[in-house]
Amino acid sequence: MIHLRDINKTYYNGAALHVLKGLNLQIDKGEFVAIMGSSGSGKSTLLNIIGILDDYDSGSYHLNGKLIKDLSEKNSAVYRNNMLGFVFQSFNLITFKTALENVALPLYYQGIRRNKRNKIAMEYLDRMGLTEWADHLPSELSGGQKQRIAIARALVTNPQVILADEPTGALDSQTSIEVMEILQQVNREGMTIVMVTHDPEMAAMSHKIIKIRDGVIGSIEHQ
């Protein structure tokens, strides 16, 4: 599913910063993986490369058998929209669009007509227990509700992988557990999930914890 081999990434901002140093990683279909590491360890860079939001300098990255390297902006966007779903710490909902419109947005970019995309989006809101909030704006919703909408939006295109960047970082402990239970349920239904988190309790709810140290895999713990 996700196969990274000897991945190197250096940023140049005055001085060279070698962030990923020959990293190797394989994530199989249906796994729920948590990536942990201290600030500057390379975990966010790794997630950005997996998410086709950033390129790498050398090595190889295959996603579902396809080599991801030097793609045009257009092709990168096509792969992201068709194969990946994203969940962010800050929810990244569009403030002037309703819950339903936020969930339906990826379908708009796939060219699906309004009636059909709203029907599909409503099904995913229903799965999240948010049908009655469909016409509400994000400002009228709690943090937990916003994150459930973000998960629905990530799922609506039926992607191959969900990438979650600190999905519970802005939530209280009880709401965090509720969001993680939703992700566990999604994973039980067959979805591959890759999550970056700093919270050991949240990481413990995954199948496998990958700890990154100094740009390489430091350890892998199976749950």
**Hey, what are 117's tokens?**
């995309």
- pLDDT tens across 80-91, in order? 988 999 998 888
Please, which pLDDT band fits residue 146 given cuts at 50, 70 and 90? Answer: very high
Is 167 in contact with 179 (CB distance < 8 Å)? yes
Residue ranges per structural domain of the chain: 2-222
Tokens of 139: 């400002």
Half-sphere exposure of 89 (CA within 13 A, CB side): 11
Residue 179's identity, in one-letter code, is: V
Strand partners, 163: 86, 194
> Residue 105 pLDDT > 90, yes or no?
yes
Residue 89 pLDDT:
82
| Per-chain mean pLDDT for the chain | 93
Put the strands of the sheet holding 15-27 in their side by side order: 15-27, 2-13, 58-63, 66-67
CA–CA gap between residue 48 and residue 54 (Å, rounded): 5
The position carrying tokens 């962030």 is 19
Superfamily of domain 2-222: P-loop containing nucleotide triphosphate hydrolases (3.40.50.300)
| Cβ neighbours of 39 (radius 10 Å) | 7
**pLDDT per position as a tens digit, 182-201:** 999 999 999 999 999 999 99
User: In terms of pTM, does the model score above 0.85?
Assistant: yes
Band the pLDDT of 163: cuts 50, 70, 90.
very high
Burial class (CB in 10 A: 0-12, 13-18, 19+), 155: buried
CA angle 218/48/73 to nearest 5° reads 150
Rounded Cα distance between 170 and 168, Å, is: 6
Please report, rounded to a whole number, the percentage of residues in the chain having pLDDT higher than 90: 78
pLDDT tens sequence across 15-74: 899 999 999 999 999 999 999 998 888 998 999 999 999 999 999 999 999 999 989 999
pLDDT of amino acid 13: 85
pLDDT, residue 187, reads 95
Element (H, E) at 5: strand 2-13
